[in-house]
Amino acid sequence: MTATRTTLSAALLAGAALLTGCAGIGSNGRSADCPTDATDARDLPAQALYGRWEARFDGLPAVAAVQLGKHPDYEGVRGTISRNASNAARPTVAQLAGDVDDEGALSIDESLDGRAISGVWSGKLQAGSCGREFRGTWRNAADESVHPFVLSKTVVPAAPQGKQ
């Protein structure tokens, strides 16, 4: 019975790690590829930034959808942010480019037209989030207003067994 519980516990931990985007739970109960705190982002692979995210901004309506992928020109990310603003039928889409340094500092430039910077993101990797949450401020270049943000990686459900 104890062996069954141990096996079940290990399976549950591994499943939880996959759902949070971290794999390889170590003897300390933490993922082998998950930073132990926000100041040790060297353990976070660049690929952990790729994918879908949700951005929430204080003082701004709705949740924005963020998609990040590999930047073609340097070791960073490039992607888009889609905001509904006041018209859900025509979301505002802006381009993003940036990176995360070894201390977990997120820096992203945002551009509505692909030339001029329309917003600047400055954030920090959150301890214990396994690279799935950043918090900081977003500055709107149009009016210099500053809004706190939370950027959270969305969980993609696993495909059912036998389906691909």
pLDDT of 30 over the 70 cut: no
- Residue position matching structure tokens 């990040």: 68
- CA atoms of 55 and 60, how far apart (whole Å): 11
DSSP 77-108: EEEEEEE-TT-TTS-EEEEEEEEE-TT-EEEE
Helices (H), the chain: 2-20
Q: Which residues in the chain are classed under CATH 2.40.128.120?
A: 36-153
- CA atoms of 29 and 70, how far apart (whole Å): 30
State pTM to two decimals.
0.71
Q: pLDDT (tens digit, 9 = 90+) per residue, 49-107?
A: 899 999 999 977 789 999 999 999 988 899 999 987 556 667 789 999 998 888 889 99
* Mean pLDDT confidence for 20-34: 45
- Residue % of the chain over a pLDDT of 90: 46
Residue 7's contacts (CB-CB under 8 Å, 6 or more residues apart) are: none
Residue 74, classed as helix, strand or coil, is coil
In CATH terms, the superfamily for domain 36-153 is Quinohemoprotein amine dehydrogenase alpha subunit, domain 2 (2.40.128.120)
